[in-house]
Structures are given as C-alpha cells and as structure tokens.
C-alpha cells in the first residue's frame, strides 16, 4: 500500500529515516489479532494464545477466527481489542495501586474497548462513566458495556462541555481523542485515503478543545489520561506541551519496563509513549498522563430529581436473581425498568441523572409486573447472576441458532423464564410455554450471518 507523502515527511522528521523504513515495512504486513479475556467470564472461554505483556488478560491469537461463530464472544467472555490499547491496564495499576474506590470517566468511549477494560480493572468497585456524544455510537457502547456484566457502570451521551456541570467529580478522566487514525493504516487501509495534513490540523485543534472542555470535571490531583491511535506530534506530544502550558496540568512520567519496547516521545520537558507495529505486535497508540494541579470552588451540586427506589415489598423478588454480597439499590428508570446499582454510589448517580443524559445504568434487571420480573437482556449477562435460576445449556449449533433467533425448540421440562447458556455462560432469555418457546434476545443482538454456511467454511 502507498502511504501519503505528507505522512512520510512527518515520521521522518520525528523518528528518522531508519524508523520510517521499519514502520513502512511493518504496515505492509498483516495486522495481529489480539483479545482481552474477561477476568471472570474467561473460565467459559476456550481461546488460547500468547500473552500481551502489559495486560494480564491480553492474548495474541495465532490466527483470526470468525468471532461471530463463537457464542462466548456474544456473552462477553472476551473483547477483541488491539494489544496496544490494553496498555491502559498497566497505567491504571501504576496510578491507583490497590485503591479502586474511584470515579472514572471514559469521555470518548465508543465502541467500548477501553471502558470494558476499566470496568474489569475496577472489578465492581468504584464508579465508571462511559460517554459517547454520537447517538448511534453511544448505543454500540451500551451494548458492549452490557456484555461486560458489571453493575457499577453508567453510559451517557453528552458533549465534553456538559461535564462542567459536575465539577471535580472524577478521579481519572480518559480522553481517547478522535484523531487522524494513522495507527490504523495497517488494519484499515481505507483510512489512508482519508488522511490529509488539513485533517491532522483539524484533529489537533479539536483534541485541545475536548481536553479544555472536560477538565473542570476532574478533581484536584486527579489524572487526565490522553491517548490517540496516531503517530504525528501535532496530535500527540504537541498537545501535551500545550495542555501543560495553558491548563493547570502537569505531565507525569511513567516507569515502563524496557522489554515492552515502548518509544518515549520527549518535547520541552514533556513525555508521551508511542506504540507502533515495528516496535510491538500491535497497531499504533500514543499515551500520556497529566495531573491536575488546581483547586476550584465546586460546592455541593444541586439536584432537583432522583431515581425512584423500588418498594421494599418487591425487593425479595429481585434479590433471588443476584449472588452479589454487595447491598445494592434497586430503582426505576423513567421507563419503569428496574436497575441494580451499588448503594455507595447511588447519590453520585443521581447527580449524573440531573446533569447528564444517561442511557444505561448499572444492571437493567427488567420490568416488574404484579411482583413478577420480566427479565431484561442485560440481566442475562450479569456476572453475579444467581446460580440457582432455571437454565438450559445449549451446544454450539443450538446456541448460535438462539443468537440468530432461529431456534424453535429446546429440550427442557422447565416452564417459564429460562436462561440460555453456552458452556454455562449466559447468552439471553427464553420463555418456555410448553407448546412453543419465545426468544427474548433483542433484535440488535441478533446474528445476521448465515451460520450454517459459514460454520462449514470455518470448521471444514
């Protein structure tokens, strides 16, 4: 593939001719395939591979399977993610230590890879807000958060500036900024034709605006994590220098093991870290850490509304669905669906309810009708779902037929609501009426591939 001359000029200027030749050669090769296993759901997954050094749950696969034909993919057993993006796990470990009772905002979160990593890192502790301003991408984000199955995540659809309404709210803000995408040239050759020097300049200006707009929501002493999937200095280290010069932010250096082979990028006393396919078995990523050094007068955030808690008489019906030792809050959303959320963070969620557009919160359990729960799909994916619910574990082909919504019958004498599982991993709900089975898988989660035709190709 032919790379843009302006792109070459930038890389040669930044890294030298030899590094350019190495990068150009690496971009011509097939991209690596890597996945991040779910820390809890991985026990249901049979994938094998070699480890990603900077993330304990990252795996390189020797070849790329058809993930659509693996029910454990649909059940959230793993997430297909670039290895470099998993560096976030290493950074979070360095910055937080053992303290996971923190509030985190993933500002530009869709499709959800880094958010699901943060949720796994927090392991049901703290509060994660995953945000995406573009509506259709926000609902893709919601779907991937549902698959992760954690009860301490809120998905919002807001502009970065909207978070100024919750000043000093977050301990960590991740800005995985929209960029020119140079780091994806190998994986997505079409992006090469979209590259231009004007677009690089436009992205750099937009990235500055995003960082400045969201900064009031970061606590004093909190960390702003800045990343892109590009290589040029204009969108990367130059923005770190700008942020340090114009905003109350101080660049923080990281002690990174040499064998990660990460390229440090230095400019005017500031440091960022570059991943690239000629350095690691991954696509491109730039990462840098900034710490806020300004105290602002935030005061108590005024609220005028609150989620309505479920009456005490209905709670026993809900408790039987969860094995959580945590004392949750059960509340109704505006559509009268019941959600489960950690009690210690319920007040903060109500603040977000007043100031942001929430499209998903905690675990959507379903709808209470005459003291019976009509379960929501997200409940089937919950990590702490009770082991004592009625289940039907299906083999591979039937599991895929369920996910395709073409399964018409199941072998079970149990009537009513049944959890469909594959190797004991929850996939969704059916209601067995005896003479027929109703499939409650949401249409947006449905497999549209011809599974039988493609299975013949995959497994022949």
Residue 91's nearest CA partner among 173, 179, 5 is 173
Task: For residue 318, give both structure tokens.
Answer: 């809900």
- Respond yes or no: is residue 179 known to be catalytic: no
Catalytic one among 108, 179, 203, 229? 229
Q: What span, in angstroms and rounded, lies between the C-alpha atoms of 93 and 51?
A: 18
Task: Calculate the dihedral angle through the C-alpha atoms of 77, 81, 83, 84, rounding to the nearest 10 degrees.
Answer: -140
Strands of the sheet with 363-369, listed across from one edge:
308-309, 328-332, 338-342, 363-369, 372-375
Of 284, 291, 170, the closest CA to residue 236 belongs to 284
Judge contact between 288 and 240, C-beta under 8 A: yes
Catalytically active residues are: 229
């Amino acid at each position: 593939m032919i790379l843009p001359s302006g792109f070459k000029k930038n890389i040669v200027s930044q890294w030298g001719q030899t590094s350019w030749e190495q990068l150009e050669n690496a971009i011509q090769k097939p991209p690596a395939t890597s996945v991040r296993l779910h820390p809890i759901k991985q026990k249901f997954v049979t994938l094998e591979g070699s480890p990603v050094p900077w993330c304990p749950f990252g795996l390189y696969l020797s070849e790329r399977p058809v993930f659509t034909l693996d029910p454990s993919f649909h059940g959230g057993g793993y997430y297909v993610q670039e290895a470099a993006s998993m560096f976030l796990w290493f950074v979070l470990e360095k910055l937080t230590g053992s303290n996971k009772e923190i509030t985190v905002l993933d500002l530009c979160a869709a499709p959800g890879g880094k958010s699901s990593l943060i949720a796994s890192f927090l392991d049901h502790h703290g509060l994660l807000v995953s945000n995406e301003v573009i509506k259709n991408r926000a609902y893709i984000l919601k779907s991937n958060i549902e698959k992760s199955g954690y009860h301490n995540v809120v998905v919002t659809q807001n502009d970065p500036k909207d978070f100024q309404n919750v000043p000093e709210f977050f301990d960590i803000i991740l800005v995985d900024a929209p960029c020119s995408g140079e780091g994806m040239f190998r994986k997505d050759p079409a992006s090469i034709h979209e590259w231009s020097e004007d677009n690089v300049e436009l992205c750099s200006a937009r990235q500055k605006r995003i960082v400045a707009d969201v900064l009031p929501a970061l606590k004093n002493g909190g960390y702003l994590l800045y990343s892109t999937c590009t290589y040029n200095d204009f969108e990367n280290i130059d923005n770190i220098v700008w942020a340090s010069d114009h905003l109350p932010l101080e660049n923080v250096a990281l002690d990174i093991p040499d064998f990660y082979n990460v390229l440090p990028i230095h400019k005017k006393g500031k440091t960022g870290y570059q991943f690239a396919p000629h350095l690691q078995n991954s696509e491109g990523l730039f990462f840098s850490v900034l710490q806020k050094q300004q105290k602002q007068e935030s005061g108590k955030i005024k609220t005028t509304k609150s989620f309505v808690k479920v009456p005490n008489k209905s709670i026993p019906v809900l408790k039987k669905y969860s094995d959580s030792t945590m004392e949750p809050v059960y509340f109704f959303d505006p559509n009268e669906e019941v959600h489960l959320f950690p009690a210690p963070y319920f007040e903060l969620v109500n603040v977000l309810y007043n100031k942001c557009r929430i499209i998903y919160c905690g675990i959507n359990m379903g709808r209470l009708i005459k003291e019976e729960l009509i379960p929501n799909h997200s409940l089937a994916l919950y990590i702490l779902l009770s082991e004592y619910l009625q289940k039907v574990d299906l083999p591979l082909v039937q599991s895929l037929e369920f996910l395709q919504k073409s399964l018409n019958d199941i072998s079970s004498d149990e009537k009513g609501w049944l959890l469909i599982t594959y190797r004991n991993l929850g996939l969704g709900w059916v209601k067995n009426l005896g003479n027929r089975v109703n499939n409650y898988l949401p249409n947006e989660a449905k497999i549209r591939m011809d599974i039988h035709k493609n299975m013949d190709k995959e497994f022949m």
